[in-house]
């Protein structure tokens, strides 16, 4: 494979005398084959062009998670990403530090706030009535899937909810929570789900699926979050706008096959909450985004009713196909 010319456009970040980070973009020409990794080329730039370039790396094997950074607009592991897969048509590769986290210098971020969120999740099974339960293969598969997370922070960096709500615990911590909630041996599932029902926890996810896209280990944190919500509702934890919104969706689709957006807000946040959102409603009306106030039913409702019948009989089968992890 022959070498090509690329331009690395790297965001350089330095703390100024006022303590604030000042950013600038600097271009570095490199020559490489398409399958050369971004990390290899960053090291080449640091070695041959500018020794002050700062970034993190350790294992070089997509295991430690320390080289996660924004590459081509998405957070990726530099040691796993081939330059040919992220360069634009002009051969430019844009590299920046992870988003939603404080920058220390150049591409290195302060990982403290990310791990503060992770530490909110009790990191071991807790004693309780289910302590002696058997971990069958299918339950093990589910538990094991989320433990593939390497805590690289990519999901948190690309999370749109973390961008607008810094208090949000984030996808990685919620995936970690699911590891324990989904374990049949966990003795405090309900207490964990109660904690996860608090503001800025599992119901704050906007389900944009960016975490699914960016996870280098295919952990699919958003799917874990949806499963946590299902388990919370199955335990009767339905207070607050998040569960109410989900239940209103459920009710509408089950009964008519359509979402009644006209009454959805009222059923989610009540009269006072709806009054607070009137400005947004008027804005949408000005754009002619007006839901029909008249109830109408979709075709094929009988088919839908059959699906709901099965789901309501076995609420978790849709996620696990494992009879041994259906809640007690
Ligand atoms: S250097 Fe360890 S994941 Fe990239």
The per-residue pLDDT for 199 is 95
How close is the Cα of 68 to the center of ligand 1, in Å? 7
Distance separating alpha carbons of residues 76 and 99, to the nearest angstrom: 12
77 lies in the same domain as 163:
no
pLDDT in tens, 141-158: 888 889 999 999 999 999
Q: Check residue 46 and report its DSSP letter.
A: H
**pLDDT exceeds 90 at position 262:** no
Encode 245-269 in three state secondary structure: HHHHHHHHHHHHCCCCHHHHHHHHH
In this prediction, residue 90 has a pLDDT band, given cuts at 50, 70 and 90, of very high
**pLDDT exceeds 60 at position 327:** no
Task: Say what angle helices 171-181 and 137-146 make with each other, to 10 degrees.
Answer: 160
The per-residue pLDDT for 117 is 98
Give the side-chain half-sphere CA count within 13 A for 105: 7
Distance separating alpha carbons of residues 76 and 81, to the nearest angstrom: 7
Q: How many CB atoms lie within 10 A of CB 173?
A: 26
Tell me the best of 37, 38, 56, 65 to mutate to test the pocket of ligand 1, counting ligand atoms within 8 Å of each CB and taking the most.
Answer: 65
Provide the mean pLDDT of the chain. Answer: 91
**pLDDT exceeds 60 at position 321:** no
Q: Can you give the CATH number for the domain in which 47 is found? A: 3.10.20.30
- Which residues line the pocket of ligand 1, CB cutoff 6 A? 57-60, 62-67, 77, 79
The per-residue pLDDT for 67 is 98
93: its two tokens: 């590769």
**pLDDT exceeds 90 at position 50:** yes
Which range (14-23, 128-137, 216-225) has the least confidence?
128-137
Rg of the Cα atoms in the chain? 24
The per-residue pLDDT for 317 is 58
User: Residue 128's Cα: distance from chain center in Å?
Assistant: 30
How close is the Cα of 14 to the center of ligand 1, in Å? 23
Q: Which residues contact 112 (CB under 8 A, 6 or more apart)?
A: none
The per-residue pLDDT for 314 is 72
**pLDDT exceeds 90 at position 188:** yes
257 lies in the same domain as 229:
no
Distance separating alpha carbons of residues 24 and 14, to the nearest angstrom: 9
The per-residue pLDDT for 315 is 65
Distance separating alpha carbons of residues 220 and 77, to the nearest angstrom: 16
Q: Tell me which range, 36-50, 245-259, 310-324, is most confidently predicted by mean pLDDT.
A: 36-50
Q: Where do we find the tokens 């703390």?
A: 15
231 lies in the same domain as 304:
no
289 lies in the same domain as 192:
no
20: its two tokens: 């604030």
**pLDDT exceeds 90 at position 4:** yes
Q: Is the dihedral of CA 195, 201, 204, 205 positive or negative?
A: negative
User: Of 47, 82, 109, which residue sits at a domain end?
Assistant: 109
The per-residue pLDDT for 310 is 83
pTM of the complete model: 0.88
Nearest atom in ligand 1 to 77's CA? 4
208 lies in the same domain as 290:
no
How close is the Cα of 65 to the center of ligand 1, in Å? 5
Strands, E, within 100-197: which ranges? 103-105, 108-109
Q: Where do we find the tokens 């911590």?
A: 173
**pLDDT exceeds 60 at position 132:** yes
Nearest atom in ligand 1 to 79's CA? 4
pLDDT in tens, 283-294: 888 888 777 777
The per-residue pLDDT for 59 is 98
Nearest atom in ligand 1 to 67's CA? 4
Residue of 170, 181, 183 lying closest to 221 (CA atoms):
170
Phi-psi region of 318 (alpha: psi -120 to 50; beta: other; left: phi over 0): alpha
In this prediction, residue 319 has a pLDDT band, given cuts at 50, 70 and 90, of low
Print the domain residue range for 169.
112-240
Nearest atom in ligand 1 to 63's CA? 3
User: Of 240, 263, 284, which residue sits at a domain end?
Assistant: 240
Residue 76 domain flag:
yes
User: Residue 239's Cα: distance from chain center in Å?
Assistant: 23
In this prediction, residue 322 has a pLDDT band, given cuts at 50, 70 and 90, of very low
139 lies in the same domain as 55:
no
How close is the Cα of 61 to the center of ligand 1, in Å? 5
Distance separating alpha carbons of residues 66 and 60, to the nearest angstrom: 9
Distance separating alpha carbons of residues 37 and 244, to the nearest angstrom: 46
65 lies in the same domain as 134:
no
pLDDT in tens, 192-229: 999 999 999 999 999 999 999 999 999 999 999 999 99
How close is the Cα of 228 to the center of ligand 1, in Å? 29
How close is the Cα of 63 to the center of ligand 1, in Å? 6
The number of folded domains in the chain is 3
The per-residue pLDDT for 324 is 40
Tell me the best of 42, 60, 76, 108 to mutate to test the pocket of ligand 1, counting ligand atoms within 8 Å of each CB and taking the most.
Answer: 60
Average pLDDT over residues 50-65: 97
Residue 266 domain flag:
yes
User: Of 67, 85, 109, which residue sits at a domain end?
Assistant: 109
Residue of 43, 162, 167, 130 lying closest to 95 (CA atoms):
43
144 lies in the same domain as 221:
yes
Instruction: Name the residue at shortest CA distance from atom 1 of ligand 1.
Output: 60
How close is the Cα of 88 to the center of ligand 1, in Å? 24
């Amino acid at each position: 494979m022959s070498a090509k010319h690329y331009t690395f456009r790297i965001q350089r970040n330095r703390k100024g005398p006022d303590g604030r980070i000042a950013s600038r973009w600097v271009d570095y020409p490199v020559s490489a084959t398409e399958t050369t990794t971004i990390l290899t080329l960053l090291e080449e730039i640091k070695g041959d062009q500018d020794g002050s370039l700062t970034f993190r790396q350790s294992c070089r094997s997509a295991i430690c998670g320390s080289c996660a950074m924004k590459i081509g607009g998405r957070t990726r592991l530099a040691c796993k990403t081939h330059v040919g897969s992220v360069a634009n048509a002009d051969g430019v590769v844009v590299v920046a530090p992870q988003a939603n986290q404080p920058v220390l210098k150049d591409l290195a971020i302060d990982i403290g706030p990310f791990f503060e969120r992770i530490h909110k999740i009790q990191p071991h099974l807790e004693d309780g009535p289910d302590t002696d339960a058997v971990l069958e293969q299918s339950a093990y598969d589910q538990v094991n899937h989320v433990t593939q997370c390497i805590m690289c922070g990519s999901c948190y960096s690309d999370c749109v909810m973390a961008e607008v709500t810094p208090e949000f615990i984030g996808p990685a911590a919620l995936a970690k929570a699911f590891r324990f909630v989904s374990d049949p041996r966990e003795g405090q599932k309900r207490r964990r789900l109660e904690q996860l029902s608090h503001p800025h926890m599992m119901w704050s996810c906007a389900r944009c699926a960016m975490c699914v896209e960016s996870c280098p280990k295919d952990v699919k944190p958003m799917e874990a979050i949806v499963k946590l919500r299902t388990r919370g509702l199955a335990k009767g934890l339905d207070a607050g706008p998040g569960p109410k919104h989900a239940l209103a969706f459920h009710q509408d689709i089950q009964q008519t096959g359509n979402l009644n957006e006209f009454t959805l807000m009222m059923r989610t946040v009540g009269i006072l909450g709806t009054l607070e959102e009137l400005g947004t409603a008027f804005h949408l009306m000005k754009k002619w985004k007006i839901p029909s106030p008249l109830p109408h039913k979709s075709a094929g409702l009988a088919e839908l009713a059959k699906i709901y019948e099965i789901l309501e009989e076995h609420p978790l089968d849709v996620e696990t196909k494992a009879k041994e992890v259906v809640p007690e």
